[in-house]
């Protein structure tokens, strides 16, 4: 079997209203869809979410710098292809655009292999469980305090046992008031995560973190700029609350530095960190240090990975892409069930692709 073509599409769907976090606002949700076709008629598909700017640049990189490197390769040789792309793209960086492309190709190859073998990615990886805990991720800063509490209560009413909200206002007293209101509304038995999206400096993060500890917050996410690993480590040392970081990191080398610096208690991985192949490597490396891992975005695909590793914790549920697919895995009572379909089992709705494709 040989790869004969690689096709990409850019899909861009606007939010009903812009959403705000401490460091940026988002008006749309983009994704690059990649299809890897073979001479035996089996096609692997992946979509890689892109938030903010850069989606057209990522697509151009895939079309002009990656696609031709795959032609003629055996798609089952995933590790070989990963290494080939890693070194071929060396001069344009180990992070960012190049890794988006490598990651998208890697997941498409896993999907292709699952379709060929008529088994799920979950089973190819080796199952650990068939259900994973899910938290509802919402609570953006664009909401008023009343809207925030109403949204949090709605998430719990749907059966979720955990809720994540955003913080990072210039006045931390506003954040503390909002978190306190959510804790009061949800009670002591619901886990609450607070994400400031890199919006604080070290002293403010420590000050805020101590207040979060009093409220029994489950984790404190990206308290300082992601590139400030020393700062993250300082915050982690000063606080008892779990520090979660890694959302904007790439490859096992980046995560190795986070681990070595003791920059976090939980590592958060996007699929853009290197695809399934690299995410599993990172999870195993973290496991050797007794560190838990959690995914960012793409819950409907990532649940297959996190049900196959031993050190996963909650996975993040955001409904931003649910309506793009014909159906998604079931979530009930705060647990996502892994379905048993070839590959990742996801199929895009044709009308979404037609309506929102960017030519």
Q: Where are the domains of the chain?
A: 3-118+350-356, 123-337
128: which DSSP letter?
A: S
Pairing status of strand 131-137 against strand 315-317: parallel
Per DSSP, helices labelled H in 119-215 are 121-125, 145-157, 172-186, 202-214
Alpha-carbon gap, residue 296 to 237, rounded angstroms? 24
Yes or no: say if 338 and 329 are a contact pair by the CB < 8 Å rule: yes
The partner residues of 343 in beta bridges, in order of sequence, read 120
> From first to last of its 359 residues, what are the pLDDT tens digits of the chain?
999 999 999 999 988 888 888 787 888 889 999 999 999 999 999 999 998 889 999 999 999 999 999 999 999 999 999 999 999 999 888 899 999 999 999 999 999 999 999 999 999 999 999 999 999 999 998 999 999 999 999 999 999 999 999 999 999 999 999 999 999 999 999 999 999 999 999 999 999 999 999 999 999 999 999 999 999 999 999 999 999 999 999 999 999 999 999 999 999 999 999 999 999 999 999 999 999 999 999 999 999 999 999 999 999 999 888 999 999 999 999 999 999 999 999 999 999 989 999 98
123-337 and 3-118+350-356 share a CATH fold: no
Compute the half-sphere exposure of residue 140: CA atoms within 13 Å on the CB side of its CA: 11
Tell me the fold of 123-337. TIM Barrel (3.20.20)
Strand ranges of the sheet holding 3-20, from the earlier edge strand across to the other edge:
3-20, 25-38, 43-51
The CATH classification number of 3-118+350-356 equals 3.30.390.10
Overall pTM > 0.75: yes
Backbone angles phi, psi at 298, to 5 degrees: 50, 45
Return the structure tokens found at 209: 């973190």
């Amino acid at each position: 079997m040989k790869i004969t073509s690689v096709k990409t599409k850019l899909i861009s769907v606007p939010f009903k209203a812009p959403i705000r976090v401490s460091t940026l606002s988002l008006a749309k949700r983009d994704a690059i869809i990649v299809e890897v076709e073979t001479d035996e008629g089996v096609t692997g598909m992946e979509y890689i979410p892109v938030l903010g700017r850069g989606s057209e640049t990522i697509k151009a990189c895939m079309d002009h710098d990656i696609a031709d490197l795959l032609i003629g390769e055996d798609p089952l040789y995933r590790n070989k292809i990963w290494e080939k792309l890693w070194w071929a793209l060396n001069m344009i960086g180990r992070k960012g655009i190049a890794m988006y492309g490598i990651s998208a190709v890697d997941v498409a190859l896993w999907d292709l292999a699952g379709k060929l073998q008529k088994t799920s990615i979950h089973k190819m990886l080796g199952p650990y469980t068939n259900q994973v805990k899910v938290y509802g991720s919402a609570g953006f800063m664009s909401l008023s305090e009343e809207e925030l509490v109403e949204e949090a209560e709605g998430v719990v009413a749907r059966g979720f046992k955990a809720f994540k909200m955003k913080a990072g206002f210039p006045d931390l007293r506003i954040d503390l008031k909002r978190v306190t209101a959510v804790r009061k509304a949800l009670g002591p038995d619901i886990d609450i995560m607070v994400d400031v999206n890199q919006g604080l400096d070290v002293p403010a993060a420590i000050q805020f973190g101590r207040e979060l500890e009093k409220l029994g917050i489950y984790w404190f996410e990206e308290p300082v700029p992601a590139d400030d690993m020393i700062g993250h480590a300082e915050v982690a040392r000063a606080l008892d609350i779990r520090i979660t970081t890694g959302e904007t990191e790439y490859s096992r080398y980046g995560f190795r530095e986070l681990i070595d610096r003791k920059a976090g208690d939980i590592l958060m991985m996007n699929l853009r960190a290197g695809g399934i192949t690299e995410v599993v490597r990172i999870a195993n490396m973290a496991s050797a240090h007794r560190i838990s891992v959690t995914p960012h975005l793409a819950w409907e695909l990532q649940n297959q990975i996190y049900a196959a590793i031993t050190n996963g914790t909650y996975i993040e549920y955001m409904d931003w892409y649910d309506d793009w697919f014909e159906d998604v895995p079931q979530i009930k009572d705060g647990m996502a069930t892994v379905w048993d379909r070839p590959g990742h089992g996801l199929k895009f709705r044709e009308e979404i692709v037609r309506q929102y494709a960017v030519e």
